[in-house]
Amino acid sequence: MTDREVLDTPLFETAITRLFGIRHPILCGGLMWLADGRYVAAAVNAGGMGFITARTFADFDAFRAELRLCAELTGGKPFGVNLFISGRAEENAVLDRYVDILLDEGVRLIETAGNTPEAYLPRLKQAGCTVIHKVSAVRHGLRAEKAGVHALAIVGQECGGHPGLHFVGTMVQGALAARAFRVPYALGGGIGCGQQLVAALGLGADAIVMGSRMTVATEIWAHADYKRKVLETSEADSRLVMASFRNTYRCLDNAAARTVAELEAAGERDFALYMPHVRGSNAREAYATGDWERGILSMGQSAAFADEIKPVAAIFAEILRDAAAARDRMDAMRPAPGATSRTAAAGAR
């Protein structure tokens, strides 16, 4: 089958494919500085869902222009916006304006992350939005569920970006979420291949959410030197920083991250000393110039699955082919009726 045929053939129908009206249970989570209209449109056109990351844009007009570009590239198909809710109230002053604009432009799919979305839900829901809230702990998911989100995403400690404070692995999060959540949920953190998609659905998830694996997509605007670095990155090449400020990041193990880790190891509490290394604009410059030693660049263990710079559609097709093979493998393990355990074991290989 060609990539297009693979993408056109639904493999799994889940509560999230139905909720978002998508062909495949694959979500591309918000990516600060990187998830723009072109990337998100590619995820949508490949049959998944992506979220334009609102805080990425220098001003509101640029945000609006990006939404329009995405609508044009998807031919009017729905796409999402990521709203990161900060723990610092003053940083959330801009969110209402983002909401004005996205509603005005017809966006109705929202990924919230960070702090609780409670304050934003009444307005979003009244406008007919579907909201998926991303958490790194089951108890935060339960709070958002009570507040009325339509779906949840839960990530394990393997994830790029914010893995939370307790470093619970994706395998554990996925199974606990199945027991705890009543709304559909996506599972993320270290997921970058089709076998893991099947495993996530087996655990009880209704979709996967990916970030790190996608950073080498052709449609990601970042410099080729950055993408080449990600291609070289193994599952052991990320680092946890800023845990001492209760704001942990899993990021690329680069010069900036090592400097921050040294400050933390020395017990330094003065945030001003961290600022030159952690400020967000450093990351934007790193993506623009390819100087990946600069900035705290969110990156998780699933970067190990990135082995080629290729379009989002080709990455999805690879994941779906592997998922189909994994599903077939599971099917082949089903013992024939009446088989003894010994004959069933012989037939499984």
Ligand X SMILES: Cc1cc2nc3c(=O)[nH]c(=O)nc-3n(C[C@H](O)[C@H](O)[C@H](O)COP(=O)(O)O)c2cc1C
Task: Please give the Cα distance from 334 to 97 (Å, whole number).
Answer: 54
197 binds ligand X (CB under 6 A): no
CB nearer ligand X, residue 158 or residue 253: 158
215 forms part of the interface with ligand X (CB under 6 A):
yes
Smallest distance from ligand X to CB 207, Å = 12
| Helices and strands (H and E) in the chain: how many | 15, 10
Q: Which of 155, 200, 217, 324 binds ligand X (CB under 6 A)?
A: 155
Q: Is 45 in the site for ligand X (CB under 6 A)?
A: no
- The yes or no reply on residue 188 touching ligand X (CB under 6 A) is yes
- Answer positive or negative: Cα dihedral of 287, 289, 292, 296: negative
User: Which region, judged by CB under 6 A, interacts with ligand X, from 59-67, 182-190, 258-266, 268-276?
Assistant: 182-190
- For 253-280, the three-class secondary structure string (H helix, E strand, C coil) is CCHHHHHHHHHHHCCCCCHHHHHHHHCH
First to last CA, the chain: 25
Q: DSSP character for 245? A: G
CA-to-CA separations, 133 to 81, 111, 262, in angstroms, rounded? 12, 6, 33
Q: Is 320 in the site for ligand X (CB under 6 A)?
A: no
Binder to ligand X among 211, 241, 312, 317 (CB under 6 A)? 211
In degrees and rounded to multiples of 5, residue 67 shows phi and psi of -65, -40
Choice from 7, 99, 113, 203 touching ligand X (CB under 6 A): 113
Do 130 and 110 meet the contact criterion of CB atoms below 8 Å apart?
A: yes
Task: Determine, following the binding rule CB under 6 A, whether residue 31 of this chain makes contact with ligand X.
Answer: yes
Query: Does residue 238 interact with ligand X by CB under 6 A?
Result: no
- Does 190 interact with ligand X (rule: CB under 6 A)? yes
Position closest to ligand X via CB? 211
| 157 makes contact with ligand X (CB under 6 A) | no
Applying the rule CB under 6 A, the residues between 68 and 107 that interact with ligand X are: 82, 84
**Distance (Å) of CA 312 to CA 111, 221, 231, 291, 346:** 19, 12, 15, 23, 39
The only residue of 210, 230, 278, 326 in contact with ligand X, by rule CB under 6 A: 210
Instruction: Tell whether residue 141 is a contact of ligand X (CB under 6 A).
Output: no
Per the CB < 8 A criterion, the answer to whether 280 and 294 are in contact is: no
Alpha-carbon distances of 33 from 191, 282, 317, rounded to whole Å: 21, 11, 25
| Positive/negative CA dihedral, 214, 37, 61, 224 | positive
- Nearest distance, CB of residue 324 and ligand X, angstroms: 21
Name the one range near ligand X by CB under 6 A: 29-37, 66-74, 176-184, 260-268: 29-37
Closest separation between CB of residue 251 and ligand X, Å?
8
| Binding of residue 326 to ligand X (CB under 6 A) | no
By CB under 6 A, residue 200 contacts ligand X: no
Q: Is 3 in the site for ligand X (CB under 6 A)?
A: no
Site residues, ligand X (CB under 6 A): 29-32, 34, 53, 82, 84, 113, 134, 155, 158-161, 188-191, 209-213, 215, 298-300, 302
